[in-house]
Amino acid sequence: MNKFTRWLHEQAPTRDSFEQSRFLRPFAARVFHPALWRFTRRSVPRGVALGLLVGIFLLIPGVQIAGVALLALPIRANIPIGAAMTFLSMPLTTPFILIASAYVGGADSSHLMTLLEAKMGWWPKLVQLSYWLVSDAAPAMLFGLFAISVVAAALGYVFAAAFWRWRIVTKWRRRSKPVDARG
């Protein structure tokens, strides 16, 4: 197991951590089905796509993982991979995602940029940001978030499927190489 895979296994939520969640307890029988926790060529790309879709669109940390776990049921996506992909929208990346969604949605982002550059405390900025979000900019930002999350999910699915195929082909080629008799 390489370093990245080991790190991913250590960081991804475990089945036991999900069983402790009070939000998922009513759905425990379905959520903890073994097929949703296996790493297969179909479930991993689905988990990547679902995690990116939910992680970028929702932007609410506690809701993202629970949303991935519940939405993974009908599409048979890998829950640990989906939950790990929601961490793309962390506090460092969220402002960039919001600015990009305002741009894609066609919202007036000049007020947002002025607000971010203003020399005031975080509380007045938060109040001004909330006023801006409930204005006419909100529908445009929601459209932008939706568009970005759908594109990211589609690209994530394609890249995960291609990576899975590349990894399997590499393993098969390594196995089929003839062993040198001199070594």
pTM given for the model = 0.74
| Mean pLDDT, 10 residues at a time, the chain of 183 residues | 76 72 73 82 95 92 87 92 91 87 81 67 73 75 93 97 94 82 57
**Could you tell me the sign of the dihedral formed by the alpha carbons of 63, 65, 69, 75, in that order?**
positive
How far is the C-alpha of 147 from the C-alpha of 144, rounded, in Å? 5
How far is the C-alpha of 38 from the C-alpha of 34, rounded, in Å? 7
pLDDT in tens, 110-152: 666 666 676 667 777 777 777 766 777 778 888 999 999 999 9
Residue 43: predicted pLDDT: 94
Residue 9: predicted pLDDT: 75
